[in-house]
Amino acid sequence: AQSVAQPEDQVNVAEGNPLTVKCTYSVSGNPYLFWYVQYPNRGLQFLLKYITGDNLVKGSYGFEAEFNKSQTSFHLKKPSALVSDSALYFCAVREEGRGSTLGRLYFGRGTQLTVWP
């Protein structure tokens, strides 16, 4: 079974400081990992994904994520946080799917990031 854990409901960081939003996963088969961001009353915006290859994945708006197979983690990071980064962040794992079989997306509970000035 596939599952995602985001151990922190809230992360608070000062503007200009580095930020980390944690995610661990459990998956049978190859991990396909995604990060999405959701602003209030908006849909989910895709930030980045890990499929294979380099463990450090770079995405939109200066975000990056580090895939760690031994720790089954996929933490989201940004070197210098902005107030405008304040939003709800979802980590997701996609199960194996190909052809007629859907690779369902399983989301974590979300982490509310607040960046204060």
Partner 1 sequence: DAMVIQNPRYQVTQFGKPVTLSCSQTLNHNVMYWYQQKSSQAPKLLFHYYDKDFNNEADTPDNFQSRRPNTSFCFLDIRSPGLGDAAMYLCATSRTRDSPDTQYFGPGTRLTVL
Task: Report in angstroms how near the CB of residue 18 gets to partner 1 at its nearest.
Answer: 26
Separation between Cα atoms, residue 78 and residue 101, nearest integer Å:
35
Q: Which stretch binds partner 1 (CB under 8 A): 16-24, 45-53, 61-69, 76-84?
A: 45-53
Separation between Cα atoms, residue 105 and residue 4, nearest integer Å:
10
Separation between Cα atoms, residue 28 and residue 18, nearest integer Å:
32
Separation between Cα atoms, residue 71 and residue 25, nearest integer Å:
9
101 in contact with partner 1 (CB under 8 A): yes
61 in contact with partner 1 (CB under 8 A): no
Q: Please give the size of the binding site for partner 1, defined by CB under 8 A.
A: 30
Q: Read out DSSP for 46-61?
A: EEEEE-SS-SEEE-GG
- CB-wise, 34 or 63, nearer to partner 1? 34
In the complex, the residues that contact partner 1 under the rule CB under 8 A are: 30, 32, 34, 36, 41-46, 49, 51, 88, 90, 94-105, 107-110
